[in-house]
Structures are given as C-alpha cells and as structure tokens.
Copies of this chain bind each other. A is one copy, B any other.
Amino acid sequence: MENVKKKAVILLSGGLDSATTLAIATAQGFDGYALSFRYGQRHIVELECAAQIAKTQGVIEHRIVSIDLGAFGGSALTDLNIDVPHTPGATGEIPITYVPARNTIFLSYALAWAEVLGSADIFIGVNALDYSGYPDCRPEFIEAYEKMANLATKASVTGDHKLTIHMPLISLTKAQIIQKGLALGVDYSTTSSCYDPAPDGAACGTCDSCRLRLKGFKEAGTKDPRNYER
C-alpha cells in the first residue's frame, strides 16, 4: 500500500500567522488544503498574498470562498463607515477591528471542507497576542469549538475519526512565530498583516496589526521584508 499523507485544512488569511501555520502543518507531514475567504474586507491584497503563499508552499488545493460578513456590519474591517484606528486603543478593550463571530464562521467552513475531504485535522493560526483582544482567538474558545465539531459531523456518529483543531502558534510571541517561520523558509515579503493597506498593497505601519508585526520583527532581531508606506 502506498504511503498516503494525511490531509489537513489550513485557514490561510494571507497574514504572517497563517503563513507560518501552513508551514508548520506541512513540516508535520500533512498534505495542505488551504482555505481563504473573501468576506467583505476592505482590500484584497491579503487574498493575493494568500494565493502566493499557497503556491510557494505547495498546497494540494487552495480555495477562496466568498462570504458576506459585511451583511451584518459591526467592524472596522468590514464596515466602510467605521474607521480603522491608527493609534493604540485602551488596554483591556476589544478593538473595533474585531469582526463578530469571524473565527466561528471560518472554522465552520473548514469543518465542512474537512468532512468532504475525509480530513480529521484543521489548523488555525490564533496566538497569544491576539488572545488579549479578540474573544475568538482564545484557547478556551478553540477547545470548545473542537468539542462541538466532534458532535457535528458524520464521523462523530460513525466514530471514524476524532477531529483535532491545531493551534500551533497559541503560546508563541510574535517574535517566536517569526523565528519559527524563518527556520521553515517562510517568505514574509508575501504576507500581508495590515488592517488598512494602501491601494498598491503597502502596509500602513500604524494600525494595531502593523505595530504588533513590526515589534515582532524587531524582537526577532531581523527586518520585516514587507513593503510599508512609510
């Protein structure tokens, strides 16, 4: 019998974290099925990055699913009437860039695809830094999601396999994520983390996400290869 690699569905936003997560899944021996979303985000530069990352890292398949998160509004990332902040917000507050139920919805599509593929492994790049701000990046949320997912599918009835939601970045700092990714050969010049990029894709350098990223590269002792406006 030939040596068949296990399939994993990897949520790939086109950002630094998900690019690193994909590289980790591949290094662990999984065949990658990358899943991205067109969800009403302000700019599509991150989807162009996702496509580039998927290609460079040699996934078996990359799907971009269109979903309409903007239909409900409530976030600066999907509602053009809400400005993306370019100065730090109050500590302890959930940022206006939080998109209601985004990771819940993303994971639900990943679950559907995993079920059709016969895959028992989903990877998501949530990490300790996001954890402080977004409720759906906390490890207890992902663990509860995994429990639910294991009651949601055919496999949960037939007992064929137990689904695992991997969160390999959860306890890493941004600097550690970058060091891990560089060791695995991730090209961070093709990753986009900015909440408010210029029309040409250049990162603003001042939104929450850019600030976290730049701090991470500094602490990792290396330069961010991404194109910045200033």
- A200 CB within 8 Å of chain B: no
A112 and B104 alpha carbons, distance in the complex (Å): 9
A147 and B149 in contact, given A72-B113, A104-B111 (Cβ under 8 angstroms): no
10 closest A-B pairs (Cβ-Cβ)?
A101-B112, A144-B148, A100-B115, A74-B116, A141-B151, A105-B108, A101-B111, A100-B112, A108-B108, A104-B108
Of the residues B71, B108, B144, B157, contact of A101 by C-beta under 8 Å:
B108
Q: Does A2 contact B (CB under 8 A)?
A: no
Report if A57 contacts B (CB, 8 A).
no
Is A67 an interface residue, CB under 8 A from the partner? yes
Q: Looking at the assembled complex, report how far the CB atom of A155 sits from the nearest CB atom of chain B, in whole angstroms.
A: 9
Given A73-B116, A116-B73, A157-B135, answer yes or no on A104-B149 (Cβ-Cβ < 8 Å). yes
Q: In the complex, what's the smallest C-beta–C-beta distance from A131 to chain B, in angstroms?
A: 11
Dominant secondary structure at the A interface: helix
A196 within 8 A of B: no
User: Does A228 interact with chain B (Cβ within 8 Å)?
Assistant: no
- Contact call A135/B152, Cβ cutoff below 8 A: yes
Given contacts A67-B67, A72-B116, A115-B74, contact A152 B94 (CB under 8 A): no
From known contacts A104-B149, A116-B74, infer whether A94 and B144 are also in contact, taking CB-CB under 8 Å: no
The listed residue (B94, B113, B148) touching A157 by CB distance below 8 A is: B94
With A74-B115, A105-B112 given, name 6 new contacts (CB 8 A): A104-B152, A135-B154, A136-B152, A145-B148, A145-B152, A147-B148
Question: Which residues of A138-195 have CB atoms within 8 Å of chain B's CB atoms?
Answer: 138, 140-141, 144-145, 147-149, 151-154, 156-158
Q: Is A26 an interface residue (CB 8 A)?
A: no
Q: Is A28 an interface residue (CB 8 A)?
A: no
Q: Nearest B residue to A109 by beta-carbon distance?
A: B105
Check: A69 CB closer than 8 A to any chain B CB.
Answer: yes
